[in-house]
């Protein structure tokens, strides 16, 4: 990102210089559909971020500008007040408004300000551009006005913004990763207690790359169906083991005990989640040892489980995963909720060029879609730049 360019644009718009902040998008190395089951996730902040330039303006209103937005879809400028009834029409501005409102609900006094938003997190690629925007705005407001929120509170404010002002009932992982990211480390987040621990991730000799299928299969309530499957299995297990409140509390033996009391579909979905939680914990130990080849094999296991047991993959994702295996890639899997989006791949440097060429050409030939490729590096979370 050209910081000089966005600061100059801000000064042109508002007649003064502002402070510059950034908050990154994220990847999740392993641990899918574990969050709402009380398990763990293993995200990391990446070297693609949302940026903002901000300064108080001495009024009770926000003046916002988003040069990256398509003016044919939304306006570049948005001006709004900070009361509940002032919600702006532009979706991108609703994120800014929502963060302000959630902070106000917690007692913060936020005066008017001018803000410019820009970014390099690809939209719709599963790298959580929305969480990066919320984290960037939250961190900037907190620092600019001395509001006193800690990083966990900022992450929760971002999540509440999604729930209450954007209409997305997301978990906490994306905002947490954007706020707590640490260069050279992934963060293992306990989605039940919100306790966290950093694990080393500095795979010298490897590259981390996402390949975007550029497809999204809209399958209605499929996500909710899987969540309900897990809840039904928990209810069955809890009849004998009342201490089990979430699948995170269950083990394979408990699951086997209820095999005749739940449907085959619910059983195999719950089996995947229990296995995935353990797989993530095993991967953390492998990262401590610097064994990236073994960690990569865990990624393949996750993809197989997501495809065959949890059934949230699709032909395009499976194709890229198989191509990764053929090319000798250390690890590959679907990243995110499934039904489209990206594969995340851990690739040895010497195999990288051949893999990308082979995978993208074969994919385009098979599906008549040109996939997008994003190299990512693990970097720090939300921060002030200038």
pLDDT in tens, 103-157: 999 999 999 999 999 999 887 778 889 999 999 999 999 999 999 999 999 999 9
- What is the edge-to-edge ordering of all strands in the sheet holding 372-376? 331-335, 340-348, 206-216, 372-376
**Domains of the chain, start order:** 3-201+379-384 (3.30.230.10), 206-376 (3.30.70.890)
Whole-number average pLDDT of the chain: 95
DSSP state of 9: H
Confidence of residue 167 (pLDDT cuts 50, 70, 90): confident
Q: Across residues 312-321, what is the average pLDDT?
A: 97
Q: What is the pLDDT of residues 80-107, one digit of tens each?
A: 999 999 999 998 999 999 999 999 999 9
- Which residues does residue 27 pair with via DSSP β-bridges, in sequence order? 44
Q: What is the pLDDT of residues 193-234, one digit of tens each?
A: 999 999 999 999 999 999 999 998 765 578 889 999 999 999
DSSP state of 249: G
pLDDT exceeds 70 at position 74:
no
Query: Terminal CA-to-CA distance of the chain, rounded, Å?
Result: 14
Catalytic residues, by residue number, are 174
pTM above 0.85, yes or no: yes
CA 259 to centroid of chain Cα atoms: 33
């Amino acid at each position: 990102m050209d910081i000089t360019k966005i600061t100059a644009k801000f000064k042109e718009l508002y007649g003064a210089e502002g402070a510059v902040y950034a908050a990154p998008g994220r990847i999740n190395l392993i641990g899918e559909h574990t969050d709402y089951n009380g398990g763990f996730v293993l995200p990391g902040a990446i070297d693609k971020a949302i940026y903002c330039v901000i300064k108080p303006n001495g009024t009770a209103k926000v003046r916002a500008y988003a040069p990256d937005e398509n003016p044919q879809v939304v306006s570049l400028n948005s001006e709004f007040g900070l009361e509940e009834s002032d919600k702006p029409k532009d979706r991108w501005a609703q994120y800014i408004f929502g963060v302000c409102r959630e902070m106000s609900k917690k007692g913060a006094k936020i005066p008017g300000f001018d803000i410019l938003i820009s970014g390099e997190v690809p939209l719709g690629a599963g790298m959580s551009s929305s969480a990066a925007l919320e984290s960037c705005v939250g961190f900037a407001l907190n620092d600019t006005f001395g509001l006193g929120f800690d990083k966990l509170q900022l992450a929760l404010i971002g999540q509440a913004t999604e729930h209450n002002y954007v209409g997305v009932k997301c978990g906490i992982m994306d905002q947490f990763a954007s706020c707590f990211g640490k260069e050279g480390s992934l963060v293992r987040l306990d989605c039940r207690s919100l306790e966290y621990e950093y694990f080393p991730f500095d795979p010298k000799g490897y590259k981390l790359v996402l390949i975007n299928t550029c497809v999204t299969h809209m399958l209605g309530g499929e996500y909710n169906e899987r969540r309900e499957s897990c809840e039904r299995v928990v209810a069955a297990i809890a009849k004998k083991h009342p201490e089990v409140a979430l699948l995170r509390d269950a083990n394979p033996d408990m699951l086997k005990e209820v095999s005749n009391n739940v449907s085959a579909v619910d059983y195999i979905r719950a089996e995947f989640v229990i296995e995935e939680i353990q797989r993530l914990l095993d991967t953390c130990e492998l990262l401590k040892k610097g064994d990236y080849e073994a960690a990569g094999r865990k990624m393949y296991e996750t993809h197989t489980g997501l495809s065959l047991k949890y059934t949230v993959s699709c032909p395009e994702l499976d194709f890229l995963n198989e191509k990764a295996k053929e090319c000798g890639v250390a690890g590959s899997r679907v990243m995110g909720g499934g039904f489209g989006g990206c594969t995340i791949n851990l690739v040895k440097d010497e195999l990288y060029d051949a893999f990308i060429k082979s995978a993208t050409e074969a994919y385009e030939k098979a599906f008549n879609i040109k996939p997008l490729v994003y190299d990512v590096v693990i970097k720090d979370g939300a921060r002030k730049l200038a």
